[in-house]
Amino acid sequence: MFNIFKKTMFNVTDGELSIHELFENDEEETTFVEILEAVDQTEEQIVQKPNQGAEEELPSALEALEIEEQTLLAEKSDLTNTEEMLRQRIREAIESKKRTIDHLKREIPDLKQRCELLAKALDTLIQKQPTDLNA
């Protein structure tokens, strides 16, 4: 296909490509010009089709994005509510543990005192009994 060229395509005269110098005859030049025009038209169609398709799809794309946004906002709201509920349950667990600890702190000295009294009573009982039980 490219054997119709007489010179390379990079032959430039005064900064412009000279089509007449590239081809052996006018018929091949016309073919090349037609090819260039066809390529230009194809490029225009490629550029126009996405834009036209995109313009037609804009409302549906916007609607899809709005639906996705609403879904994400709902999920965020649910997660925020869940987070707050979990924080509240943790606060309640902390308060419950603090109350239990306070109660134990008040209960332990009293329990120690009762144990000491019982130990003294037992010690007193042991001292009053005869040392030789076998006799």
Structural domain spans, the chain: 2-128
pLDDT at position 125? 80
Rounded to the nearest 5 degrees, what angle is found at the Cα of 119, between the Cα atoms of 131 and 123? 20
Band (pLDDT 50/70/90 cuts) for residue 133 is low
33-82: per-residue pLDDT in tens?
677 677 677 666 655 555 566 677 888 899 999 999 999 999 999 999 99
Q: Are 34 and 23 in contact (CB under 8 A)?
A: no
Mean pLDDT confidence for 2-8: 45
- Measured between alpha carbons, how far is 8 from 2 in angstroms, rounded to an integer? 10
